[in-house]
Structure 1
Amino acid sequence: MRTNRLAKALLVAGLVAGPAMAEENLWVYTTGTDTRPQGSFEFKLSDTIRVGKHSGDYEFHDIRPEIEYGITDKLTIGAEILIFHHDYSVNDRDLQPVFDTQGGEGGRFKDTQYGGFEVALKYNLYSPYKDWAGLSLGLGYERREQYRLDGADISQNSYTGTVYFQKNWIDDKLTLAANVKAEFERRKSPGVLEEEIAFDLSVGLAYRVAPKHFVGIEYRRQQDHLSPFNTETGEYDEPGLQPSEFDLTNFRVGSRHQYGEYIGPTYHFAEKNWWLTAGILFQVQGGGSRHAYVEGSKNWDEHEQYHVGLIYGYEY
């Protein structure tokens, strides 16, 4: 009888103060190594708000409803829909492509659009709760019909590979996670073909300051390598940049066109079956080639002043 009471007490304590399981997002971009238990579902709704282009006003909401399912305890499949909302008017004509899309000087672009969809697989190799550290691998496919920067019509197919790392300390109160992602994009717009290889590194550190409450800090760096090809002239628009290629018989990482680095605080609250995450990341460094829009050691054509992330998750 006493043993049963002790077991129940330990179970309750685990639910109240246990580690963030089932791939709870402690940060905005960085994700832990957890996969869903077999046969279980999780619904997520996220809104990543990108604000500021160093000229005029700019706001972009990247809204993603997502569903995940545990095929096995180690393999999770996920699918999400992309909803884009743009509202901007910039003043600098060199800030492309947003300046042209808004209709030039004095114009404004405001629209909510279906952006595309993404499907992904995540396989867990090692658990941060059972092994020295956690390690998972991910594969994904993404289809986009609108450009995230300006909302213009495009036809884009992307293939991604991600490595997830996680290390816990102090009885899982302190969590460190890192994601390394490679993305291979083929994007078509009127008169332009872009074959792009992009790299995304994100690192998050979070501490459970009280039962259910986590505070943290997150760093993210994103960069891409490409040279736009003009399908009408049959030439590259920027000859100074080497193009990326990723056909079966030819692979090359081209010139780095741009990069941006962000850092900022995060907060996570977890109940038994649902959780919330919020964070804000500021661009602290950016740059690129001579064709990129760089002012004040920051990149503005591909990046923004700051990103606000809001994520809700429900498990069932």
Structure 2
Amino acid sequence: MNINRVVLLALGALVFISPAVHAGEGNFGWIYTLDLQPKGSYEFEQRMQWNHRQEAGRYEDFDMRSEIEYGLSENLQIAGYVNTNYVNANQNDRFGETAGSRIPESIDTSKSYSKFRYESVAAELIWRITNPYTDWIGIGVYFEPTLGYDNKSFEYRLLLQKNLMDDKLILASNLVFETERDEVATNTNPEKASHADLLMGASYRFAPKWSGGLEYRYHNDFSGYFYQNVTQHAHFIGPNLHYGTQKWWATVAWRHQLKSGSCMNAGEFECSSGYVNDDHGRDEFMFKFGIPL
């Protein structure tokens, strides 16, 4: 599949079907902002992340999330969602074997593997402490417990947002922390891991309904629930494009993994040629849209 063609088709679809109404929400692909649902209102959001390409062979990993958001108050938003995944891989790692965090160790690693699976259900709470539209800077916190039949995690974030130029320019950052228990790829003891990410980005409204910008991710994995031993570092960067109307909004984003990754300790075999594999792709794409209800 030609990656450039897929991205161009997605962007073209937004242009073709976009009516002329004002901008909506969800400017970033991966960064959460403090633009919450108004009190008493609902929104449906669908998102899909596509992780493409690893060391060799074939690697296509799709994470899908279907979500309902609700404005509990002017500064509190809750949500619930269902996560599913589809992976299609063949001899994708540095040893020419079919492997990954979502691929069981029990398979024949010389053959291809593909599977669609239900992953988990999750809940979400965002508390906006200060408002980026009325205060000098917006500050908020985010909590997300996730429960799956072979995966359990708890994620929490510090959300920062600064609006400039009459709200045309949005600067946002997330400090992300997560603990995880994973039994997908292991046959014996569950994997206990923790993660810490720094996400930063900018989005500029260059036309009445259009915004575009850039996103960066500094990713860190650790063994154990309490960040005991670092196992990998990785850097990602890429653009985003957002279109919004009164009735719906849509965002596409792409981030490329820079050739600067490193692995150590228990994760020393997850790196190759300066890239981190695991469940990451050399290129990661986000497609998402929201519909107020």
TM-score by length of 1: 0.79
Find the aligned partners of 1:99 and 1:64 in 2 and give their Cα distance: 22
- Among 131, 135, 149, the alignment partner of 2:139 is 135
Which amino acid in structure 2 is aligned with residue 187 of structure 1? D
Identity %: 26
CA deviation profile, 1:252-289 (whole Å, cap 9, x unmatched): 42111112211001100010131000011100131110
Partner of 1:278: 252
Q: Pairwise mapping of residues 21-170 of structure 1 onto structure 2 (< 5 A)? A: 24-90=25-91, 92-93=95-96, 96-97=99-100, 98=103, 100=105, 103-105=108-110, 107-145=111-149, 155-170=150-165
For residue 172 of structure 1, what is the amino acid of its counterpart?
A: D
Alpha carbons of structure 1 residues 127 and 213: separation in structure 2 relative to 1, 3 Å:
same
1:223 and 1:101, CA in 2 relative to 1: closer, same or farther beyond 3 A?
farther
Alpha-carbon distance in structure 2 between the residues aligned to 1:82 and 1:99: 19
Q: Counterpart of 1:262 in 2: which secondary structure?
A: strand
Shift of the 255–95 alpha-carbon distance from structure 1 to 2, 3 Å rule, reads farther
Identify the residue that residue 208 of structure 2 maps to in structure 1. 211
Aligned length: 265
Please list every run of at least 4 consecutive aligned residues from structure 1 whose deviation after the TM superposition is greater than 6 angstroms.
none
Per-residue deviation, 1:88: 1.1
Give 3-state SS (helix, strand or coil) of 1:219's partner.
Answer: strand
Identify which of 273, 278, 282 aligns with 1:305: 282
Q: Over aligned residue pairs, what C-alpha RMSD do you find? A: 1.9
CA distance change for structure 1 residues 302 and 219 in 2, over 3 Å: closer, same or farther? same
Give me the whole-angstrom Cα distance separating, in 2, the residues matched to 1:37 and 1:29.
Answer: 21
Q: In the alignment, what sits opposite 1:3?
A: none
* CA–CA separation in structure 2 for the residues paired with 1:99 and 1:137: 35
Give the one of 207, 213, 230 matched to 1:256.
230
Compared CA separation, residues 197 and 99, structure 1 to 2 (3 A) = closer
Between the aligned partners of 2:51 and 2:148, the Cα distance in structure 1 is 18
Q: What's the counterpart of residue 189 of structure 2?
A: 192
What is the CA distance between 1:100 and its match in structure 2?
Answer: 4.4
Q: Give the CA deviation at 1:301.
A: 2.6
CA distance, structure 2, for counterparts of residue 81 and residue 102 of structure 1: 27
Counterpart selection for 1:288 from 254, 263, 269: 263
Shift in alpha-carbon separation, 1:47–1:114, aligned structure 2, 3 A = same
Cα shift at 1:82: 0.6
Q: Which residue identity is paired with 2:197?
A: D
SS at match of 1:192: coil
Instruction: Determine helix, strand or coil for the equivalent of 1:191.
Output: coil
Question: C-alpha separation between the residues in 2 aligned to 1:49 and 1:59?
Answer: 7
Q: 1:53-96 CA deviation, whole Å, 9 max, x = no partner?
A: 11101001101110001111111111111110111101535674
TM-score (norm 2): 0.85
